[in-house]
Homo-oligomer: A and B are copies of this chain.
Amino acid sequence: MAKTNYSISLQEDSKNFITEATLQLLDSKSFNKLTVMEVVKRAGVSRMAFYRNFESIEDVLKQYYCPKFEAFFDKIKKTHGEEELVILTEFFSVMKSDLIKAINHDYDSIFFDILSQQTELFIQPQNRSEYYQMKFIIAGTFTVWKVWLTEEDETSLAEMWALLSNLTKKY
């Protein structure tokens, strides 16, 4: 039977409820302690509805955050010079608290995976050596942002951008 518009919209609703519930629960809970049972209870949907839409809680977060990173990458690829910093500032003003929450509640590896995936598409390494070099740069970059976000020193976003450009341009 073909899906009616009504059933499609119901499914969209469940998806949104589940995503919303997951993000809310992660405000106070560590990712590793969160169960699908708690999510469906908070979302007011069935376990079946969860698994119709998602493979796991990790999948909920990936589906939610992936498009946000994609949009950022799309913009930054088309830009040069000063404009890059404007886009980065915009990205962090929207995402900063989400990123800090992810670090504190042990799911920042999801952001690392998204970043890796996006970068891999962009760089397309031709051999193992290039592949390892790419992994080196992604992990370095990710960790530097992570340290900056959690240790909150006096370094400005512009200084961080300059510092990272300098670190990565050697390759």
Give the B-binding residues of A (Cβ under 8 A).
Answer: 32, 128-129, 132-133, 135-144, 147-148, 153-155, 160, 163, 167, 170-171
Contact = CB atoms under 8 A, between A and B. Distances in A.
A147 B125 CA distance: 15
Given A128-B153, A153-B128, A170-B170, A135 B139 contact: no
B139 A142 contact: yes
Contacts of A132: 144, 147-148, 155, 160, 163, 167
- Copy number in the complex reads 2
Give me the 6 closest cross-chain CB pairs, A-B, nearest first: A139-B143, A136-B140, A140-B140, A32-B32, A170-B170, A139-B139
Given A32-B32, A153-B128, A170-B170, A137 B135 contact: no
8 contacts: A128-B154, A132-B148, A132-B155, A133-B163, A133-B167, A135-B140, A136-B167, A137-B140
A144 B155 contact: no
Chain A at the B interface: mostly helix, strand, loop or mixed?
Answer: helix
A129 B164 CA distance: 10
Best-buried of A135, A136, A153 by chain B (most CB within 10 Å): A136
A142 B143 CA distance: 11
Contact of A136 (B133, B144, B153): B144
A31 to B, nearest CB: 9
Contact of A147 (B135, B141, B170): B135
Contacts of A154: 128
